[in-house]
């Protein structure tokens, strides 16, 4: 039986795709936000509709990417350990009962980062840390792989 050989481009593409599926997720806020860091428990409460304010009473607008965006799936998986189907089911129950309002959905990462720059009381997430100076800051890093502890602040 002959060995299967793949062109280097195909191998590199596969490696990059595998790495991107396991990359850290950066939780981002405006550089003007009073928030310097957020705990995983507070972040989860904000994104799962249990709270709309931090423990100090500051209201926060959580932002989200569209349902079919791969980063959204990675974010919720790392934050909650739940699949997008489970998260959607959770939100369907909350919306039906009128208990909470979901995060504001923006069209893509660029729109989310632009919104965060203009809105000091908002949180979002990205595949990369924002460069400095960008008007944005990292308030938490959701780690993946062997270093998957969710307690990482910048």
Give the chain's domain count: 1
- Look up the domain containing 73 and give its range: 37-147
Per-residue pLDDT tens digits for 80-138: 898 988 998 888 888 888 878 889 999 999 999 999 999 999 999 999 888 888 899 99
Structure tokens given for 45: 């409460």
Q: Note whether residue 12 is domain-resident.
A: no
Find out whether 43 and 123 touch, Cβ atoms under 8 Å: yes
pTM greater than the 0.85 cutoff: no
* Confidence grade of residue 151 (pLDDT, cut at 50, 70, 90): very low
Contact residues for 22 (Cβ-Cβ < 8 A; gap 6+): 144, 145
Quick one: which H or E segment has residue 137?
strand 136-142
Q: Note whether residue 57 is domain-resident.
A: yes
Task: Name the phi and psi angles at 54, rounded to 5.
Answer: -75, 170
Q: Note whether residue 58 is domain-resident.
A: yes
Per-residue pLDDT tens digits for 37-65: 899 999 999 999 898 888 888 889 999 99
Q: Note whether residue 127 is domain-resident.
A: yes
């Amino acid at each position: 039986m002959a060995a299967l050989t793949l062109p280097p481009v195909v191998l590199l593409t596969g490696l990059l795709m595998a790495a991107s599926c396991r990359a850290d997720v950066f939780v981002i806020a405006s550089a003007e936000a009073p928030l310097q860091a957020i705990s995983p428990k507070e972040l989860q409460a904000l994104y799962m509709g249990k709270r709309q304010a931090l423990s100090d009473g500051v209201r926060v607008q959580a932002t989200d990417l569209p349902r079919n965006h791969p980063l959204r799936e990675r974010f919720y998986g790392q934050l909650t350990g739940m699949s997008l189907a489970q998260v959607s089911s959770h939100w369907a129950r909350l919306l039906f009962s009128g208990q909470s309002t979901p995060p504001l959905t923006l069209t893509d990462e660029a729109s989310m980062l632009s919104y965060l720059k203009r809105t000091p009381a908002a949180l979002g997430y990205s595949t990369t840390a924002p460069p400095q100076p960008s008007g944005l800051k990292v308030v938490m890093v959701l780690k993946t792989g062997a270093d998957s502890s969710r307690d990482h602040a910048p």
